[in-house]
């Protein structure tokens, strides 16, 4: 404990701050950041400031990691290892699933923190002599480079930004050995394949493949090295990134695919699909009357060849749409603009399904195949995009920010509310803490039938335009506290197709231009059929044709709402642990602190609420039975067993007489003592 608090380095736990305020919290974490203490606890929540450089002594070495194994958090400098260790110990003690939630803005260090915790758990948990268990740990770690290649991209904020959410689970058997894992992914930002901001890149794998594939592979895919030759890559005018070596990353992906037992034909197929996306992106259309014709048939031919489909079938599907009307199928030619839309949706969908195929393949290898799932307990790691506020925010940002609102609900429900409920249950005197419950914003977005997503679905179903959609939002929510729409006189910042949501983290203006197309997210059935007709069996499975022709496919918004709610339900059934990541500056620079940016993050990560509850409450609690059996050795009257009454009396004796804690600093509840 002496080493734990070092003069001039702030306090390792914000709960120990003498004053409770944003200033004090900001002062403490930034003071620590300046002396390379990038981690600070707030009770059990670990705050991590991204240093944007390697800090000597903080490397994930066995010596470093071993210091935390089986230790209480206060015995060591704060570190995500402690969070991993607490989760593991908790799992052993309670046999309950544990979830480690890592949140923060893009570039704040979430993925790095997740990898650190995974490395730690993999280091600290026992391994039987059996080779296969050692292998599971390696495989879990090795899934990272593959997932990052397919799911990460360079953005303005982060050279290696995850463009999907990830929940990684490690399963433990009754003997507490890791026996398998699984990965769930959420909302890949597939629009990135066909559109993105200047100076950003598409998914790493495109550039990795072009730079790293050997000449034989490249020519079999009919690709050339130069990424600028491909329209889908050229559109944002950024090909290389200082911090990324595409060539060696490709080798790393191939190596990881070997570790993860991707069969050679599966690998080959993935490269074919990725290349087909690039070739499809080359396809251009010209107008012939009202109908589109393909301007460069050779690109369709190459794509068809890579996808094992017939060129004529693919061409027809790119240029026509079959509509069902009065029991009849009518084939209508597409105009050039719609053909572009169809082509782009094929590129996006093909890439997304390719990504999902990669995830399936990884899961196939790492899931536990030996033991029945019954006695398994899991530790999960959630690494998901934090709140996103850009200059222009659209459908994607709204979905991402909606997820963060929902995660804040988990935080409120599980941390703040449970804490308060426990005091009530235990009959402990308690002044309720005021905190903002953001459920009202979640409802505004997701409620059925009157929420933003529902109105968007309705507009899509009725083939309405975006201004009609925005009008319906305005009519319904104009008086809502967290919603503001276009009003020339009141607020110039909100344009005609915009609205502002007052998120718990701050205000964001969303531009809804194009949102209905994004929400419909339709791959025309003709294209699905064309790929389903492929002689490549896995590809055929990736594009199933449903028999029901009438049923409308689920919209992107509805799909997203469903998968977010599944995630939330699952998290609600776990014991949560938190790592909150802060980005000290927007320039990815070491030793630079942007005060406003930090304060903003401290505010919306709910850190202050967290300290408030922690400080108003009691940092330590334990059941009387456990408490007295853990500490009875320190009291003459309690060793070997207490003679003055029940477990509660024993606890009071130990706390008051043996530990000398004054009565204002502890409370005795129904079943537990609080310190």
Q: Is 111 a catalytic residue?
A: yes
Q: Is 641 a catalytic residue?
A: no
User: 471 a known binding residue?
Assistant: no
Site stretch for ligand ADP (CB under 6 A), options 19-27, 51-59, 277-285, 387-395: 51-59
Of these partners, Mg ion, ligand ADP, none, which one is at the site of residue 78 (CB under 5 to 8 Å by kind)?
none
Facing residues of 176 across strands?
A: none
Strands 98-103 and 377-383: parallel
Rg (CA), the chain: 28
Which DSSP letter does residue 3 get? T
What mask of x and - would describe binding to ligand ADP in positions 405 to 444, judged by CB under 6 A? ----------------------------------------
**Residue numbers 563-582 binding ligand ADP by CB under 6 A:** 581
Site stretch for ligand ADP (CB under 6 A), options 157-165, 280-288, 446-454, 498-506: 157-165
User: 104 a known binding residue?
Assistant: yes
Q: Is 107 a catalytic residue?
A: yes
Residues 392/550, Cβ–Cβ less than 8 Å: no
Q: Is 345 a catalytic residue?
A: no
**162 lies in the binding site for Mg ion (CB under 5 A):** yes
Q: Distance between CA 306 and CA 275 in Å, rounded? A: 8
Q: Is 388 a catalytic residue?
A: yes
Which backbone phi and psi does 509 adopt, to 5 degrees? -95, 130
Q: How far is the CB of 107 from ligand ADP (least distance, A)?
A: 5
User: 322 a known binding residue?
Assistant: no
Q: How far is the CB of 638 from ligand ADP (least distance, A)?
A: 44
Q: How far is the CB of 55 from ligand ADP (least distance, A)?
A: 6
Of these partners, Mg ion, ligand ADP, none, which one is at the site of residue 112 (CB under 5 to 8 Å by kind)?
ligand ADP
What mask of x and - would describe binding to Mg ion in positions 94 to 113, judged by CB under 5 A? ----------------xx--
Given 48, 97, 161, 182, which residue is catalytic? 161
Number of residues in contact with Mg ion under rule CB under 5 A: 3
Q: How far apart are the first and last CA of the chain?
A: 17
CB-nearer residue toward ligand ADP: 162 or 610 = 162
Q: Buried b / exposed e across 381-410, counting CB within 10 Å, b at 16+?
A: bbbbbbbbbeeebbbbbbbbbbbbbbbbbb
Peptide bond into 640 cis (omega under 30): yes
Q: How far is the CB of 112 from Mg ion (least distance, A)?
A: 8
Given 44, 388, 419, 446, which residue is catalytic? 388
Of these partners, Mg ion, ligand ADP, none, which one is at the site of residue 435 (CB under 5 to 8 Å by kind)?
none
Tell me which residue of 674, 667, 626, 624 sits closest to 649, measured CA to CA: 624
Q: Distance between CA 76 and CA 59 in Å, rounded? A: 15
Q: How far is the CB of 141 from ligand ADP (least distance, A)?
A: 15
Residues comprising the chain, all counted: 675
Q: Distance between CA 40 and CA 48 in Å, rounded? A: 7
Given 14, 40, 162, 404, which residue is catalytic? 162
Among the listed residues 27, 51, 474, 635, the single contact to ligand ADP using CB under 6 A: 51
**Residue numbers 97-136 binding ligand ADP by CB under 6 A:** 104, 106-112
CB-nearer residue toward ligand ADP: 15 or 581 = 581
User: 110 a known binding residue?
Assistant: yes
Residues 40/28, Cβ–Cβ less than 8 Å: yes
Strands 498-503 and 178-186: unpaired
Number of residues in contact with ligand ADP under rule CB under 6 A: 18
Half-sphere exposure of 216 (CA within 13 A, CB side): 1
CB-nearer residue toward ligand ADP: 157 or 529 = 157
Helices 264-282 and 297-306: crossing angle in degrees, nearest 10, is 160
Which backbone phi and psi does 103 adopt, to 5 degrees? -130, 165
Q: Distance between CA 146 and CA 139 in Å, rounded? A: 11
User: 669 a known binding residue?
Assistant: no
Q: How far is the CB of 114 from Mg ion (least distance, A)?
A: 8
The 10 Å Cβ neighbour count of residue 518 is 19
Peptide bond into 449 cis (omega under 30): yes
CB-nearer residue toward ligand ADP: 162 or 365 = 162
Q: Is 106 a catalytic residue?
A: yes
In order, the DSSP letters of 51-84 are: -SS--TT-S--HHHHHTTTT--GGGSS--HHHHH
Tell me which residue of 436, 403, 81, 138 sits closest to 261, measured CA to CA: 138
Among the listed residues 143, 161, 171, 534, the single contact to ligand ADP using CB under 6 A: 161
Which residues are designated catalytic? 106-107, 111, 158, 161-162, 386, 388
Site for ligand ADP, rule CB under 6 A: 50-54, 104, 106-112, 158, 160-162, 581
Site for Mg ion, rule CB under 5 A: 110-111, 162
Q: Known binding site for ATP: residues?
A: 104-111
Q: Known binding site: residues?
A: 104-111
């Amino acid at each position: 404990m002496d080493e734990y608090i070092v003069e001039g380095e702030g306090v390792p736990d914000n709960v120990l701050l003498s004053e409770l305020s944003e200033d004090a919290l900001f002062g403490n974490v930034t003071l620590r950041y300046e002396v390379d203490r990038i981690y600070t606890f707030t009770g059990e929540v670990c705050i991590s400031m991204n240093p944007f450089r390697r800090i000597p002594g903080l490397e994930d070495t066995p010596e470093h990691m071993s210091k935390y194994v089986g230790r209480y958090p206060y015995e060591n400098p704060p570190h995500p290892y402690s969070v991993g260790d607490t989760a593991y110990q908790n799992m052993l003690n309670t046999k309950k699933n544990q979830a480690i939630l890592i949140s923060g803005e893009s570039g704040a260090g979430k993925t790095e923190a997740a990898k650190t915790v995974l490395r730690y758990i993999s280091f600290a948990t026992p391994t039987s002599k059996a080779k296969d268990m050692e292998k599971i740990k390696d495989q879990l770690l090795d899934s990272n480079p593959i997932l990052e290649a397919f799911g990460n991209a360079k953005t303005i904020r982060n050279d290696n930004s995850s463009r999907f959410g990830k929940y990684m689970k490690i399963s433990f058997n009754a003997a507490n050995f890791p026996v398998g894992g699984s990965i769930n992914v959420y909302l890949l930002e597939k629009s990135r394949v066909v559109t993105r901001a200047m100076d950003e890149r598409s998914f790493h794998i495109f550039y990795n493949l072009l730079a790293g594939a050997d000449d034989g592979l490249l020519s079999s895919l009919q690709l050339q090295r130069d990424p600028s030759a491909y329209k889908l890559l050229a559109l944002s005018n950024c090909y290389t990134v200082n911090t990324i070596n595409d060539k060696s990353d490709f080798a790393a992906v191939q190596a990881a695919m070997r570790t993860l037992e991707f069969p050679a034909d599966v690998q080959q197929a993935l490269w074919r699909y990725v290349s087909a996306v690039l070739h499809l992106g080359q396809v251009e259309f010209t107008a012939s009357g009202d109908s589109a014709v393909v301007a460069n048939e050779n690109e369709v031919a190459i794509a068809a060849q890579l996808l094992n489909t017939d060129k004529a079938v693919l061409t027809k599907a790119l240029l026509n749409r079959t509509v069902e009307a009065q029991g009849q199928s009518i084939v209508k030619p597409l105009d050039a603009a719609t053909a572009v839309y169809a082509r782009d949706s094929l590129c996006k969908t093909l890439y997304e399904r390719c990504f999902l195929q990669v995830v399936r393949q990884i899961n196939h290898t790492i899931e536990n195949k030996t033991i029945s799932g019954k006695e398994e307990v899991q530790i999960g790691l959630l690494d998901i995009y934090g709140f996103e506020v850009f200059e222009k925010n659209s459908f994607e940002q709204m979905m991402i920010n909606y997820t963060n609102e929902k995660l804040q609900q988990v935080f409120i429900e599980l941390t703040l509310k449970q804490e308060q409920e426990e005091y009530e249950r235990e009959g402990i005197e308690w002044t309720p803490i005021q905190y903002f419950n953001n459920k009202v914003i979640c409802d505004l977005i997701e409620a059925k039938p009157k929420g933003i997503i529902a109105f968007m679905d309705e507009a899509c179903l009725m083939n309405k335009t975006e201004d009609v959609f925005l009008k319906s939002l305005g009519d319904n929510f104009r008086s809502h506290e967290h919603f503001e729409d276009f009003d020339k006189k009141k607020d110039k910042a909100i344009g005609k197709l915009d609205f502002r949501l007052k998120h718990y983290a701050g205000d964001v203006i969303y531009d809804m231009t194009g949102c209905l197309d994004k929400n419909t997210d339709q791959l025309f059935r003709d294209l699905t059929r064309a790929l389903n007709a492929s002689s490549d069996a896995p590809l055929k499975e990736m594009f199933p044709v449903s028999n029901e022709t009438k049923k409308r496919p689920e919209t992107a918004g509805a799909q997203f709402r469903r998968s977010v709610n599944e995630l939330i339900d699952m998290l609600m059934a776990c014991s949560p642990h938190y790592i909150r990541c802060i980005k000290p500056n927007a320039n990815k620079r070491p030793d630079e602190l942007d005060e406003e940016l930090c304060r903003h993050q401290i505010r919306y990560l709910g850190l202050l609420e967290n300290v408030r509850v922690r400080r108003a409450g009691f940092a330590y609690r334990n059941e009387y039975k456990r408490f007295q059996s853990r500490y009875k050795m320190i009291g003459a009257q309690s060793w070997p067993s207490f003679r003055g009454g029940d477990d509660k009396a024993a606890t009071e004796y130990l706390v008051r007489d043996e530990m000398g804690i004054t009565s204002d600093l502890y409370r005795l509840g129904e079943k537990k003592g609080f310190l």
